[in-house]
Structure formats: C-alpha cells, structure tokens
C-alpha cells in the first residue's frame, strides 16, 4: 500500500464582498478550510514515483503552483458562476460585476435563515456526518497493516472496543490508530515528528489524542519524552489524554462518558442522519454545503487529480477511460474540467509542454455539480462497463483508510488500478514548489503585436494566446482585462527577457511579476525598500488567495525570521520579499544557494526601482550592489540566472538611466512605458503660504476638503468601513515642526508613521516597530481615518479609498510627488481624490543661489545663515541633501582614509590577482556604518574590492579585496563612466590617472569618481528639486499643473531628438539645431510638451548648455511660463557658460544669441535678461558684439553694454604700466 498526502482548499470570491465588517467571518472561514484542507491518495498496488519526463514535470509543476497557490485560494471563476447562478441562487442576492477592473459577483444581501457564524457552524456539522442515509460502508475501515499492528497492545484493542461502545459506530469510525505525529502537526522539521500516537479522534472542531501508557512510561527518560510530545501536540491544537494500561483493564466506560460530555451536542445528536438529509431539510445547511463544502472539496480533488498525472498514474499523452466512484460529494467531473482548462491554457502559450489530458469519464453516484463541460465526455452509469485505465474512488468526507459503499458494492476485492481519494487525518500541510526545468513561453508574437500596434504595420494579436493569458488573469486575480503595459511586461518576463517597467502608480505593476511568477517554475524573489511595503504586498497577495508568500526582515522576531527562512529553503514560498541589505548577509546567500539547488529562482524583482538611483548613491549603498548579487546568488549550478525586472511608477531619464546601468539592462526595448501617465482620478492643488503659516493652512485645507470633494462635511472624516474617506499627510521629517509627531499632534491624533523612531515616541526600536505595524494595519482596515507619515510609508501601499494626500512641504522631485500622491484614487473613479501641496516659497532667490553653488560646504554655510523659520521648502530639502552629501572633499578624504587604514595593509605583499578578506567593524553610530559602506562601494567600482558581506549581529563588514594593477584601476573607472557618458568623456576623465603605483592610481581615481558623482548624480538631484519647486510656485489651476507634470513625465514628439543631445557638448549640437527645433513649435500645447521634455532631459544632464538654452527659449515662448521661470533659467545658464568659458570657444556667441531670442520671444523681459547676462557673464567682447546689432536699439541693453565697456576700459587702464607709473609720480609729487 502507498500513500500520497497533499493540501488544497478554495473558497468563493463572493465572500470578499460581504457588506460591512467581514474580517472576523473571513478569518473563521479560513481556519475552517485550512483544518479540512488535507487529503490523501491511497493505493494498494501502485507506487507514487514522480515523473522524470521534463516536459510533463514542467506543466504539472506550473499547474500545481496555480492550484496550490493559497490555502484557501479562490475557486475556479466559471465554477463560482455556475454555483451562484444555480444551487446557491436561493441563499444570496448577488450582482454580477459588469463594469470596473474586477470580475465576479458582489453580494447585496444574505438570504439564509441565520448569521454567517451559524453558516460556519452548519458546515462543521456537515463535516461530522456521513454523506448518505445508507452509511454502513462509510464506517468500514482497512485493518492496520502488520508492521503497525505489531506496535499495538491488547489494552489498545480494549480501548477501541469500549470507545465504540460508548460513542457509537459513526464516531467510532473517526478514531484512528497509530498515527504519525508528523501528520498531526504542521511542524515537519521537529525531531518528534516520526513517532506515533496510539489513537487520534478528529471530527469537526474536536481534536483529541489518546495515549495508552504501559509501565515503561513511568521511567524518567520516557516521562520527559512524553511531556515533550504532549507539549508539541498541544501547541498545534490537540488535547492529549493519557490512560494507563491498568485503567484500561479496569474499564473506561465512566471515563469515556465524561469525555463524551465534552463534545458539542450537535456532534452527538446532529439532528440529521446524513449530509443529504441535512441539505434537503435545512436551508442553512444547504447553503453551507454548496457555498463552502463544494468549493473546498472540488479544489482538494483537483490537486489530487494533478498528482495522478505528475506521478504518471494517469497518462496525458493518450485518451483514457476512467471510472469514478462518487462516494460522497459529486465533484470529481468538475475537478477534471478545471484541470483540463488550466493545463490547456498553459500548453497554448508553452507549446513544449504536453497537451491537456483527454479522457472519457464514467460516473457511478449521484448527479454531479459542475460548470459547463466544454467538450468533455462524462456520463452516468449504473455500474462498470468494460475495462478502465483507472478506477477512482472519491470520498472527500471519508477519512484515510475508509472503504466507500460503492467500492464495496462493485469491487469487493480491490483491483490493481483502484485509487482512493480521502480526507487525511491531522494538520500537516503538504504544499511546496515542485521541481522542474526552466520553462520558456512562446509569446514573441504577442510581444510583437503589442509593440507594433501603433506603428505603420501592426501585427495581429494571436487570439488563442491572448485568451489564454486573460484566462489566468481572471482565474487567479479576478481582473477583467490587462491594463496598459501589463501584457507587454508579462509576455517579456515569460520569455526570460529582462525588463524595466515604468507604469504609473496604481497601474498594476505588481500584478506583472505576480502573474509571471505563478506561471514560471520555482520562486520569485522581490527586493522591496521598506518593511511596510513588504507587509502590504504580502497581504495583498493573500487577499487574492495566494499565501505561498513570506518576507524576511529585521523587524521580525528571531523565531518568525527563522520560520520564513525554513519555508524558503523547503520550497514553501513562491514569493519571497527581502530588503537589498539582506543580500549582503553571507548566511542568507548560502540559504539562497540551497533553494536554487532544488528549485529555480525564475524571477528577481526590484520593486520601486527608482530607489536604486535615489537611495543607492545616498544612504543605502547595498542597492547599487544588488542586481549583481541577485544574478550571482540566484543562479543554479548550470549558469541559469533569474530574469531581472525593475518596477517603478515614475522615473526621470536620469533615474531611468541609473536603473538601466545598475541592472545592466541596456536594450531600449526592455523599457515598458505607458501610453499615458495621466491619473484622471486625481485633482491637484498647491497652497503657497509663508513657512510660519503652514499649520493654519493645513487646518484650513482640511476644513475645505469635504466641499472640494463634494462630500457631506458632517460625516467626511468619520470611519465607515470601505467607504471611509482615508487620507495621508506626508512630512519631510521625522522630528521638528515639519515632522510626523508635530503634525499629527497639530491635527489632534497620534496616527503617525516613519522609518526612524521619533524623539517624542518614548519607546525603543521593537516598540516602535510594533507601533508602526499596528498603525499600518489599522489604516489599511479603515480603523483609523488619517495617517501622518514620511515617504517611508507611501511607497507602494495599495488602498482604494484614499481620498486625499497632503504634502506638508515640497517633495524632492516630480517623480516623488507623483509616486506619493498616487497612493490616492486607486479605485478608478474620476476626480475621486485631491492631492495637495502646502508650499512655502520663502527665500526662493537665496535657494537658487545655493542650488547653483557647486561647493557643498560653501552652500551649506550660506544656508545656515538663514534662520529656520525663514527657510522655504526648497531650503528645507537642500538642508536634507547637504546632510547626505557632505561635500566632495570630505567624501574623497573618507574614501581614501578607509582604503589606506582598512584595506591597503591587507594586500601588501600579495601578488597581482590574489584576494584576501578583511573584517572591518562598523564604527560608532549609524553614519559611520553608512560612510564605510559607501567607501566600500566606491572601491568596488574601482576594482580593488570584489565583494562584501554584512554581519549585523557582530556589527562588521567582511570585505574581499583584490590586488590589481594601476592600469586595471584606471580601466575599471573608465568602464564605469562609460555607463553614463560617451567614450570620449570617459577617456578624457581618466587620462591623468598615473599608472606607477596602486596608491597613486587610487588617489587620483577616487578624485575623478567622486567629482563625477557630485557633478552628475548630485547635480541631477538639485535639478529635480528645482523643477518641483518651479511647478509649485507657478501653480495656477489643476489642469495647468497636470499638463506640466505629464509634459515632464511622458514621452513627447521631442523626446527622441532631445535624448540624442544628452551628454553632448554645445558645439556638437549647435545653435542651428536649437533654432530648427523651436521653429517647428507652433502651438501652445506643443510648447508645453517641449518645456516638460526639456525639464526631464535636464534632470538627466543638468550641465548641458544646449538643453538649458532650449529650456529658456521654450519657456519664453510659452504663455503658461512666468517671467520668473525664464529669468531663473537664464541665471543658471549664464553661470554655467561663465564657468565653462575656457572650454567653450563660442561662449559670447551663445549669450548674444540668447539675447536675440529673448528679444523675439519675450521682448518685455529683454531688459531683465540682459541685466542677468551682462552682470554675471559679460565681457568687453560681448558688449561690443551687442553694440553692433539691433539689440543696441534697446535703451537698457545699450546702457548696460556701454557701462560694461567703460568698466572694462577702466580696468585695463588701471592694470597698464602707464597708469601705475603715473600714480607713483603723483604720490611723490
């Protein structure tokens, strides 16, 4: 005899739409289904050996992943429709979801004679009943095998007989002998799991273990072992009773009568003889049967059938005759239909897999419950007719070891091809990823159809493949159709193509890797920047019926973390969420290698991929090392690597370039962009107030919010379940007047969230983590209405009823604003949410001066002269930036000192190419660790550090250093620079790096590297902040603001051309190219898009003079741009030209051309622009050039030029010898 245990359950999606508070019911339903999800396949003559056919292993592994994705998961969508429109029709009033993103049904009202809790109680009662009125066969059980019989005693036989005498045959059939503890507890790794208990009684909610103890159990060692066994069983919900052999011989009838009184009355006297009589007599029990039991048992049978194919007991390559003995709930035909549908759709998109199974089903039993059969052959028969490939006795309510009445009637002696599907005793869960070879899908034609649909020769979509993909979308996620970009991404990932996904917030990015991950073998690993995001993503998956999910975080207690790691290693996680820092821990790397030895890691996901750029260069260097680590430690022994996918809601070209370079994804086809970033659900508002007026402005805005959103002000801020008007207020700080605790206090509540512990909190890290978890759960479940948070909360949180976001200060960039504001309005209703910024413009001109200052210590000194209360939003954000980037000289010093003190001594005397590992303490404080890790990463870029790991418990790095030549240092730097710049730039930058010694090469290379980081990466941050500030201070209307953001974010007709300008010199582009482009712009809409695209390109290349020049002219030409914005751009361009004058032969020509363009495009501003140009970068040569043109007709320009010439002439005279000698003679006279 052989057995195969497995776990599977499913529920109706309808339960998610119960009006009102449904959390308690759903939690109870899940527990009930999980307790009854365990099944076993039993045979007398067949051995269960997994297939070694790679193609069959692949398709069955993917089918199994889909079927077992949750316990419970959601039942088949077509089957749910058949149940709700058929046998469940009297019990629920439902509405079909015909509009919106979701498919399925929504419950309007319950029509059962009882509560939901009573419905669950009725289900428990049904589980304790025999199915049919003639239930004799249900009580027949197989005798104990000889090897187990030898473990029993005479007293155990007496115990069994007395139990049946007191409890009766029906309950006596539920008493099982010699059961493995492994099957009773969901703790398979426990050393006690291989031992057995004497008796198990499991029915409904009653879980008893009986032990009959002989004399040996009085010995100290055995007593200790018994206590440990009892503790393990009790921990997993079993009540353990121990009786001695002497007590058994004396008689246990009185003791059993006492135990009998502990049973629920409904179990002893259920009121019904069978399930069939209950569902005929009771409306409530009929509802429990069709709405809970039928979905549960169908799904359990479905996975059992799949196991028959994956173990080659059934053969998918030929048509087979199968006889089904429906011993109780008649759902086997439906289970075959569901399996055929899942398998067939996989084969449609993966032709290398076997075709869906073909079978002819003969059914003995009552009329089956099923959805339309779609071409399947299934017929009721009174008895066997001819020979069969397999005889399947299905009894989902019958325990393991039971004979069914139909089996006894038709097959008194079991034939060799008889298989039994039964309920399994205990709570051991058997759900794990199945091994198979990597699988690639045939979706190139789908991808081509998508990418060509807007071209001149669009390719037709392959209908059957599209329908197959949509089947999985609807079947698994209950979504109606793919949103913009989703199918494109999924088609690439299933082909193994690395992809960068740039879709708007709320655009369904997560679904792309979730669906792909379920259709690919093995595990998907996801890098998330925030614990709150990991928690939210895991909970969202569980809400869709996918619970093979775990996250590993420092905020878990040690036991929880170890449990998640064990689950990952054992293949019990299809999706594992981690932080980038986790990949720097050696123990975790080893565990990943254990996983890939058993199952492939098919997908490696970098969620919120903009953090690679925005945080990696800043305070989380692990981000920059992460893509390499993912590829290295998630690869199997044959060199197969996971497919990389980066997800972000918005990214400037600068950030996008960073993502591409760090992920090593340079193929432009790998970037999936949306057709539009527009979020019609959102309205925008900017309140411009002095810094001191922010508190009153916030209160005023909240008071006006109901009117703006056209809601009843009396109830707007009340808790109303899913209809609560939730809101998030984003603060730039944890502490201080702009911090989360202060703002929450201002609003009269304590609902605040931040990455760091606020000073006002008064607790330690563990208490703070517990607070954050409670607040996040309460907010998500509509138990609090509003949350005040830093950006550490907003990223990725998916909650459909957020009506407003308020930024209490300007965000760091347009992308950051759109990401965080995009938490709102995720239900698709137009103008549902308001996204506001309370913006302070104090000392804007001073902020621009500080922005334009390249030396950070100088800039910081200027900033600190301005009082805190007089710092506008831009200065507040600059203060944060300067605290992250302390200055290039300090970073050069720190990096070189780290090398000289920590690593250089390690390689002394080593030959070139040799490696060594050095352990280095973090140092005092978090900043010391960040500084050290940043230095390590800089040295990795230069090739002298190969890799590093982090031991958080010992607070130290383990750095593997390599002795390389000076020329190799130079080459590493050149290759890094070429990721961002053209080859000429890289060659020129490293030209002066000496090649005499490694020390000299490193010193020079560190200087070049850090200068590049400040001139490029930090400058881009400043430009992004400035762009956001400009949008805020120029706010007029929602529509204008929306258009400006979209012009910045989206591709325009100018994008391809201007992208070619990035990282090129002014001479390479030329003034004619600028004027030719401007001449093509003829409408206000075009010029708006040009301004937005130029802004975005300048974020990529802030020092580009041609782009800055174009920005000035486009702004001057646009009626939507203010005079101030033109002047601000002019100031920046003028300073850039003046700084680069030595390397810019055409400096005066550029400035003269600019003056002419201003005179043409915005003549009223010519005087002001002239004042900026001539005062900041004027030369005598430029003044003479002005005097020789029509510009001299402008009185202001003429006067400024004349003054400039006079001043230059005076300076020249004062510097000549004649003037000096004349001064001396006059002095002596």
Return the HEC string of 92-137. EEEEECCCCCECCEEEEEECCCCCHHHHHHHHHHHHCCCCCCCCHH
Q: What is the CB-side half-sphere exposure of residue 185 using CA atoms within 13 A?
A: 26
Dihedral Cα 691, 697, 702, 704, nearest 10 deg: -150
Over residues 103-123, mean pLDDT: 93
pLDDT above 70 covers a percentage of the chain that reads 95
Question: What integer pLDDT is reported at residue 323 of this predicted model?
Answer: 97
Q: How far apart are CA 1076 and CA 147, in angstroms?
A: 92
Question: What integer pLDDT is reported at residue 16 of this predicted model?
Answer: 93
- 559 CB-near residues (< 8 Å, 6+ apart): none
Coil/strand/helix, residue 947 = strand
- Report DSSP letters for 4-19, one per residue: EEEE--EE-GGGGG-S
Question: What integer pLDDT is reported at residue 675 of this predicted model?
Answer: 79
Question: What integer pLDDT is reported at residue 498 of this predicted model?
Answer: 93
pTM of the model: 0.83
Give yes or no for a contact between 33 and 396, defined as CB atoms under 8 angstroms apart. Answer: no
- 1224 pLDDT band, cuts 50/70/90, is low
Q: Where are the alpha helices (DSSP H) in 173-292?
A: 181-184, 220-235, 245-250, 253-261, 265-268, 275-281, 283-288
In the predicted structure, residue 480 carries a pLDDT above the cut 90: yes
> In the block, which residue shows the tokens 């698709």?
828
> In the block, which residue shows the tokens 């920590």?
902
- 653 pLDDT band, cuts 50/70/90, is low
Question: Considering just the CA atoms, what is the radius of gyration of the chain in Å?
Answer: 36
Alpha-carbon torsion (48, 52, 57, 61), positive or negative: positive
Q: How far apart are CA 1151 and CA 870, in angstroms?
A: 34
Question: What integer pLDDT is reported at residue 691 of this predicted model?
Answer: 94
Q: How far apart are CA 792 and CA 530, in angstroms?
A: 7
Question: What integer pLDDT is reported at residue 134 of this predicted model?
Answer: 58
Q: Which of 407-411, 425-429, 479-483, 671-675 has the lowest mean pLDDT?
A: 671-675
Q: Helix 1084-1100 vs helix 1019-1033: angle between axes, to the nearest 10 degrees?
A: 150
Question: What integer pLDDT is reported at residue 1222 of this predicted model?
Answer: 47
Task: Calculate the alpha carbon distances from 745 to 444, 735, 771, 772 in Å.
Answer: 56, 12, 16, 17
Task: Calculate the alpha carbon distances from 629 to 590, 644, 661, 918, 973 in Å.
Answer: 12, 11, 15, 19, 20
Q: What is the pLDDT of residues 348-358, one digit of tens each?
A: 999 999 999 99
- Nearest Cα to 891, choosing from 933, 858, 926, 920? 933
- 867 CB-near residues (< 8 Å, 6+ apart): none
Cβ atoms within 10 Å of 688's Cβ, excluding its own: 17
Over residues 702-718, mean pLDDT: 93
Q: How far apart are CA 321 and CA 436, in angstroms?
A: 28
Note the Cα 209 to chain centre separation in Å. Answer: 43
Q: Helix 888-898 vs helix 856-864: angle between axes, to the nearest 10 degrees?
A: 130
Task: Calculate the alpha carbon distances from 7 to 175, 989, 1227 in Å.
Answer: 21, 62, 106
Over residues 159-180, mean pLDDT: 92
Q: Distance between the two ends of the chain, CA-based, in angstroms? A: 128
Question: What integer pLDDT is reported at residue 99 of this predicted model?
Answer: 83
Instruction: Could you list the beta-strand ranges (E) of 704-761.
Output: 726-730, 752-753
In the predicted structure, residue 562 carries a pLDDT above the cut 80: yes
Per the document, the length of the chain is 1229
Q: How far apart are CA 706 and CA 704, in angstroms?
A: 6
Tokens encoding 454: 């807007």
Note the Cα 766 to chain centre separation in Å. Answer: 24
Give yes or no for a contact between 656 and 770, defined as CB atoms under 8 angstroms apart. Answer: no
Give yes or no for a contact between 1100 and 1051, defined as CB atoms under 8 angstroms apart. Answer: no
- 107 CB-near residues (< 8 Å, 6+ apart): 14, 15, 17, 18, 19, 92, 93, 94
Q: Which helix (H) or strand (E) holds 40?
A: strand 38-43
Query: In what side-by-side order are the strands of the sheet with 915-921?
Result: 915-921, 956-962, 945-951
Over residues 86-96, mean pLDDT: 94
- 1175 pLDDT band, cuts 50/70/90, is confident
Q: Which helix (H) or strand (E) holds 310?
A: helix 294-310
- Report DSSP letters for 330-364, one per residue: --HHHHHHHHHHHHHHHHHH-TTSPPPP-EEEEEE
Give yes or no for a contact between 427 and 39, defined as CB atoms under 8 angstroms apart. Answer: no
Q: How far apart are CA 291 and CA 300, in angstroms?
A: 15
> In the block, which residue shows the tokens 């290379």?
1005
- Give one word for 923, left, alpha or beta, with left for phi > 0 and alpha for psi -120 to 50: left
Q: Which helix (H) or strand (E) holds 746?
A: helix 740-746
pLDDT averaged over every residue in the chain: 89
Q: What is the pLDDT of residues 1134-1173, one digit of tens each?
A: 999 998 888 888 899 999 999 999 999 999 999 999 999 9
Give yes or no for a contact between 591 and 632, defined as CB atoms under 8 angstroms apart. Answer: no
Q: How far apart are CA 21 and CA 117, in angstroms?
A: 13
Q: Which of 384-398, 582-596, 666-680 has the lowest mean pLDDT?
A: 666-680
Q: How far apart are CA 793 and CA 783, in angstroms?
A: 17
Q: Helix 332-349 vs helix 294-310: angle between axes, to the nearest 10 degrees?
A: 60
In the predicted structure, residue 515 carries a pLDDT above the cut 90: yes
- 1159 CB-near residues (< 8 Å, 6+ apart): 1166, 1191, 1194
Q: How far apart are CA 511 and CA 478, in angstroms?
A: 11
Q: What is the pLDDT of residues 1050-1083, one digit of tens each?
A: 778 888 899 899 889 999 999 999 999 999 887 7
Over residues 328-335, mean pLDDT: 95
- Nearest Cα to 923, choosing from 894, 948, 887, 892? 894
DSSP state of 165: H
Q: Which of 494-503, 644-653, 1035-1044 has the lowest mean pLDDT?
A: 644-653
Dihedral Cα 728, 729, 733, 736, nearest 10 deg: -130
In the predicted structure, residue 330 carries a pLDDT above the cut 80: yes
- 783 pLDDT band, cuts 50/70/90, is very high
- Bridging pattern class, strands 499-502 and 73-74: unpaired
Task: Calculate the alpha carbon distances from 1056 to 657, 904, 1060, 1062, 1101 in Å.
Answer: 15, 46, 7, 11, 15
Q: How far apart are CA 424 and CA 6, in angstroms?
A: 8
Cβ atoms within 10 Å of 62's Cβ, excluding its own: 22
- Bridging pattern class, strands 956-962 and 945-951: antiparallel
Task: Calculate the alpha carbon distances from 611 to 635, 705, 792, 880 in Å.
Answer: 24, 32, 12, 17
> In the block, which residue shows the tokens 């469940």?
88
From the number of C-beta atoms within 10 Å of its C-beta (0-12, 13-18, 19+), residue 191 rates as exposed
């Amino acid at each position: 005899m052989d057995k195969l245990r497995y776990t599977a359950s499913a529920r109706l999606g309808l339960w998610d739409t119960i009006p009102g508070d449904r959390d308690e019911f759903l939690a109870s339903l899940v527990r009930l289904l999980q307790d009854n999800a365990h099944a076993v396949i039993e045979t007398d003559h067949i051995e269960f050996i997994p297939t070694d056919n790679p193609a069959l292993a692949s398709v069955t592994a993917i089918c199994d992943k889909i079927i077992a994705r949750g316990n419970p998961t959601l039942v088949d969508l077509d089957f749910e429709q058949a149940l709700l429109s058929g046998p469940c029709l009297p019990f629920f009033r439902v509405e079909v979801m015909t509009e919106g993103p979701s498919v399925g049904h929504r419950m309007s009202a319950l029509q059962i004679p009882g509560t939901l809790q009573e419905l669950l109680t009725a289900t428990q009662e049904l589980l304790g009943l025999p199915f049919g009125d003639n239930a004799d066969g249900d009580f027949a059980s197989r005798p104990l095998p000889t090897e187990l019989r030898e473990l029993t005693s005479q007293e155990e036989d007496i115990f069994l007989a007395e139990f049946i005498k007191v409890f009766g045959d029906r309950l006596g059939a539920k008493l099982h002998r010699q059961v493995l503890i492994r099957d009773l507890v969901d703790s398979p790794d426990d050393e006690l799991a291989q031992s057995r208990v004497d008796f198990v009684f499991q029915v409904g909610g009653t879980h008893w273990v009986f032990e009959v103890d002989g004399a040996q159990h009085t010995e100290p060692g055995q007593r200790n072992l018994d206590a440990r066994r009892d503790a393990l069983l009790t921990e997993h919900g079993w009540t353990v009773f121990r009786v001695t052999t002497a007590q058994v011989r004396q008689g246990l009838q009185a003791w059993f009568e006492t135990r009998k009184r502990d049973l629920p009355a409904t179990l002893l006297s259920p009121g019904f003889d069978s399930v069939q009589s209950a569902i005929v007599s009771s409306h409530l029990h009929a509802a429990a049967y069709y709405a809970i039991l039928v979905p549960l048992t169908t799904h359990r049978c479905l996975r059992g059938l799949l196991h028959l194919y994956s173990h080659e007991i059934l053969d998918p390559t030929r048509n087979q005759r199968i006889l089904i003995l429906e011993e109780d709930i008649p759902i086997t035909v439906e289970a075959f239909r569901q399996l055929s549908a899942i398998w067939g759709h996989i084969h449609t998109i993966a032709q290398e897999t076997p075709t869906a199974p073909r079978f002819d089903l003969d059914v003995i039993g009552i009329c089956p419950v099923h959805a339309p059969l779609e071409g399947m052959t299934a017929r009721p028969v009174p008895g066997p007719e001819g020979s069969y490939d397999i005889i399947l006795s299905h009894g989902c309510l019958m325990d393991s070891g039971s004979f069914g009445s139909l089996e006894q009637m038709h097959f008194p002696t079991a034939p060799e091809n008889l298989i039994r599907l039964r309920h399994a005793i205990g709570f051991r869960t058997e759900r794990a990823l199945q091994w198979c070879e990597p699988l690639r899908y045939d979706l190139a034609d789908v991808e081509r159809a998508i990418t060509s649909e807007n071209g001149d020769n669009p390719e037709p979509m392959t209908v059957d493949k599209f329908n197959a993909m949509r089947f999985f979308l609807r079947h698994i996620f209950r979504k109606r159709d793919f949103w913009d970009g989703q199918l494109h991404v999924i088609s690439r990932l299933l082909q193994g193509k690395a992809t960068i996904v740039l879709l708007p917030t709320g655009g369904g990015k997560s679904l792309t890797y979730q669906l792909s991950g379920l259709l690919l073998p093995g595990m998907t690993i996801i890098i998330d920047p925030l614990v709150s995001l990991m928690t939210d993503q895991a909970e969202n998956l569980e809400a869709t019926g996918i619970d093979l999910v775990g996250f590993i975080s420092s905020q878990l207690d040690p036991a929880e973390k170890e449990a998640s790691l064990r689950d990952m290693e054992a293949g019990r996680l299809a999706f594992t969420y981690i932080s980038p820092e986790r990949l720097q821990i050696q123990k975790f790397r080893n565990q990943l290698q254990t996983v890939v030895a058993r199952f492939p890691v098919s997908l490696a996901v970098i969620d919120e991929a903009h953090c690679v750029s925005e945080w990696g260069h800043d305070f989380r260097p692990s981000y920059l090392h992460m893509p390499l680590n993912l590829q290295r430690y998630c690869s199997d022994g044959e060199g197969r690597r996971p497919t990389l996918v980066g997800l972000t809601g918005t990214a400037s070209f600068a950030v996008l370039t960073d993502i591409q370079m760090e992920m090593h994804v340079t193929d432009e086809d790998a970037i999936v962009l949306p057709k539009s970033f527009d979020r019609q659900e959102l309205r925008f508002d900017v309140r411009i107030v002095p810094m001191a007026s922010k508190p009153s402005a916030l209160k005023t805005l909240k008071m006006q919010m109901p009117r703006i959103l056209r809601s009843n002000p009396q109830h707007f801020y009340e808790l109303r379940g899913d209809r609560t008007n939730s809101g998030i207020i984003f603060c730039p700080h944890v502490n201080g007047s702009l911090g989360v605790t202060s703002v929450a206090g201002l609003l009269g509540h304590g609902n605040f969230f931040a990455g760091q512990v606020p000073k006002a909190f008064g607790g330690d890290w563990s208490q703070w983590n517990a607070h954050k978890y409670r607040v996040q759960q309460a907010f998500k479940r509509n138990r609090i209405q509003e949350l005040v948070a830093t950006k550490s909360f907003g990223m990725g949180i998916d909650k459909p009823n957020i009506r407003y976001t308020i930024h209490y200060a300007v965000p760091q960039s347009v992308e950051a604003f759109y990401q965080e504001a995009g938490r709102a309005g995720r239900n698709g209703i137009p103008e549902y949410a308001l996204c506001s910024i309370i913006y302070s413009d104090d000392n804007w001109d001073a902020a621009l001066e500080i922005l334009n200052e390249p030396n950070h210590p100088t800039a910081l000194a200027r900033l600190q002269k301005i009082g805190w209360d007089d710092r506008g939003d831009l200065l507040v954000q600059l203060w944060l930036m300067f605290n992250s980037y302390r200055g290039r000289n300090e970073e050069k010093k720190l990096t070189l000192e780290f090398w000289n003190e920590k690593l250089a001594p390690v390689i002394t005397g080593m030959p070139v190419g040799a490696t060594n590992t050095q352990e280095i303490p973090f140092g005092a404080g978090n900043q010391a660790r960040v500084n050290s890790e940043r230095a390590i990463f800089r040295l990795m870029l230069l090739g002298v550090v190969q890799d590093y790991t982090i031991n958080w418990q010992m607070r130290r790095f383990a750095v593997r250093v390599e002795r390389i030549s000076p020329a190799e240092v130079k080459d590493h730097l050149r290759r890094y620079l070429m990721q961002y710049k053209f080859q000429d730039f890289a060659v020129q930058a490293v030209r002066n790096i000496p090649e005499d010694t490694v020390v000299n090469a490193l010193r020079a290379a560190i200087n070049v590297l850090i200068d590049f980081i400040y001139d490029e990466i930090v400058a881009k941050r400043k430009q992004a902040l400035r762009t956001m500030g400009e949008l805020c201070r120029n706010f007029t209307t929602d529509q204008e603001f929306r258009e400006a953001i979209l012009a910045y974010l989206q591709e325009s007709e100018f994008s391809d051309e201007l992208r070619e300008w990035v990282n090129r010199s002014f001479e390479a582009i030329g003034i004619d190219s600028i004027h030719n482009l401007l001449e093509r712009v003829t409408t206000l809409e075009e010029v708006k898009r040009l301004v937005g695209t130029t802004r975005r390109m300048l974020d990529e290349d802030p020092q580009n003079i041609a782009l800055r020049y174009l920005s000035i002219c486009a702004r001057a030409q646009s009626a939507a741009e203010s005079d101030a914005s033109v002047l601000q751009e002019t100031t920046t361009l003028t300073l850039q030209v003046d700084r680069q004058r030595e390397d810019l032969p055409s400096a005066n020509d550029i400035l003269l051309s600019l003056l002419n363009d201003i005179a043409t495009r915005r003549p009223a501003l010519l005087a002001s622009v002239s004042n900026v140009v001539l005062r900041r970068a004027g030369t005598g040569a430029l003044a003479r050039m002005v005097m020789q043109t029509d510009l001299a007709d402008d009185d202001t320009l003429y006067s400024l030029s004349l003054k400039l010439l006079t001043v230059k002439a005076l300076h020249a005279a004062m510097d000549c010898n004649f003037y000096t000698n004349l001064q001396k003679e006059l002095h002596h006279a």
